[in-house]
Amino acid sequence: AFSTPADASSYLAQYIVKRINDFGPTPQKPFVLGLPTGSSPEGVYARLIEANRKGLVTFQNVVTFNMDEYLGLAPSNDQSYHYFMYNKFFNHIDIPRQNIHILNGLAKDVDEECRRYEAAIKSYGRIHLFMGGLGPEGHLAFNEAGSTRDSRTRRVSLVESTIKANSRFFDNDLSKVPKHALSVGISTILDNSDEIAIIVMGANKAFALEKTVHGTKNDARFPSSYLQDHPNVLIVSDLEAAGV
Ligand code: GLP
């Protein structure tokens, strides 16, 4: 845990830069990076952009997979996760467009879109590092309470607390928040990733972080508790989220 969100973000950004550089990715053997949206990772993205600008890291041979996307929002909608990712990160780094993977919230055949996504991840073998965040109730990506350990990429219904938490981006109007999303599953994250780095900031995440670290392992009521089932998880937080 770091005293400020800025320190936590800097640490994780430097950590990711080091991982990519140590790996030494090539076009034949790219570094595969899983990515989240949300306020918590924003500072990490800002610092990765800075590192890229300074020439400390290149994303030329980095392939990304985002965790989730709202169902029914077009990439041009400024609340879609497509829009967030391009606006906050991809438009400002040297990553080739074809290396970017985000679930398509407008897919006509949702099951087919989820299968396509799983197959794309599989085609790269492993996700070398999966960065994630936590929802206030312990959701991971959009895996809400009740998600099973073996869940894969699928259509999910958002629970009321998530809809409420995310309504701040939709004029605080619950009716405007999408009620469904596409999300990678718990198994997609845990069983494909060599390493998972969770970034979590703010007092409203203290409950979720406590459940993640000290809660009962594999408790479906708090999906982030499944992280205890992975051998290589790094949690980066500020003091507020750590509850100190
Ligand atoms: C959304 C995303 C999650 C993310 C969470 C936390 O619900 N689907 O993947 O972890 O927000 O976001 P924030 O960091 O803004 O609290």
Segment 142-174, tens digit of pLDDT: 999 999 999 999 999 999 989 998 999 999 999
Rounded to an integer, what distance in angstroms lies between the CA atom of residue 3 and that of residue 1?
A: 7
- Active-site residue, from 144, 195, 238, 240: 144
- Is 68 among the catalytic positions? yes
Is 210 part of any domain? Answer: yes
Q: Is this complex scored with an ipTM above 0.85?
A: yes
Q: Report which of 192, 205, 196, 208 is spatially closest to residue 233, judged by C-alpha positions.
A: 196
pLDDT at residue 244 is higher than 90: no
pTM of the model: 0.96
- What's the gap between Cα 76 and its chain centre? 20
**Nearest atom in ligand 1 to 67's CA:** 9
Quick check: is 244 in a domain?
no
Band (pLDDT 50/70/90 cuts) for residue 207 is very high
| Catalytic annotation present for 230 | no
Residue 118, in any domain of the structure: yes
The active-site residue out of 139, 195, 238, 240 is: 139
Among 12, 40, 79, name the best residue to mutate to test ligand 1's pocket (greatest count of ligand atoms within 8 A of Cβ).
40
Measured in Å, residue 65 CA sits from the centre of ligand 1 at 16
Beta-bridge partners for 63: 32
Coil, strand, or helix at residue 150?
A: coil
Model confidence over 87-123: pLDDT tens digits? Answer: 999 999 999 999 999 999 999 999 999 999 999 999 9
Identify the residue whose C-alpha is closest to ligand 1 atom 3: 141
Taking the centre of ligand 1 as the mean of its atom positions, its distance from the CA of residue 16, in whole angstroms, is 19
Q: How many CA atoms lie within 13 A of 76 on its CB side?
A: 0
The H or E element containing residue 31 is strand 31-35
Q: Is residue 17 part of a domain?
A: yes
Q: How many CB atoms lie within 10 A of CB 191?
A: 15
Q: Within 13 Å and on the Cβ side, how many CA atoms surround 119? A: 6
**Domain CATH for 111:** 3.40.50.1360
129's CB contacts (< 8 A; 6+ apart) are 16, 19, 31, 32, 33, 34, 193, 194, 195, 196, 197
Q: Which atom of ligand 1 is nearest to the CA of 39?
A: 15
Q: How far apart are CA 135 and CA 131, in angstroms?
A: 14
Provide the domain count of the chain.
1
Domain that holds residue 137: 5-239
For 1-52, the pLDDT digits (tens) are: 999 999 999 999 999 999 999 999 999 999 999 999 999 999 999 999 999 9
User: Annotated catalytic, 50?
Assistant: no
Residue 225 lies in a domain: yes
Average pLDDT, the chain: 97
Angle at 63 between CA 121 and CA 236, to 5 degrees: 90
SS3 65: strand
CB-based burial, 76-86: b 16+ in 10 Å, e otherwise: eeeebbbbbbb
Centre of ligand 1 to C-alpha 221, Å, is 17
Question: Angle 126-146-104 (CA atoms, 0-180°, nearest 5)?
Answer: 50
Measured from CB, residues less than 6 Å from any atom of ligand 1 are 36-40, 67-68, 133-135, 141-142, 162, 166
Does 163 map to a domain? yes
Helices 5-23, 42-53: axis angle to 10 degrees equals 50
Question: What gap in Å lies between CA 136 and CA 209, rounded to an integer?
Answer: 9
Confidence of residue 179 (pLDDT cuts 50, 70, 90): very high
Alpha-carbon distance 84 to 78, whole Å? 7
| Confidence category of residue 218, pLDDT binned at 50, 70, 90 | very high
- Answer yes or no: is pLDDT of 58 > 90: yes
- 178 C-beta neighbours (distance < 10 Å), count: 18
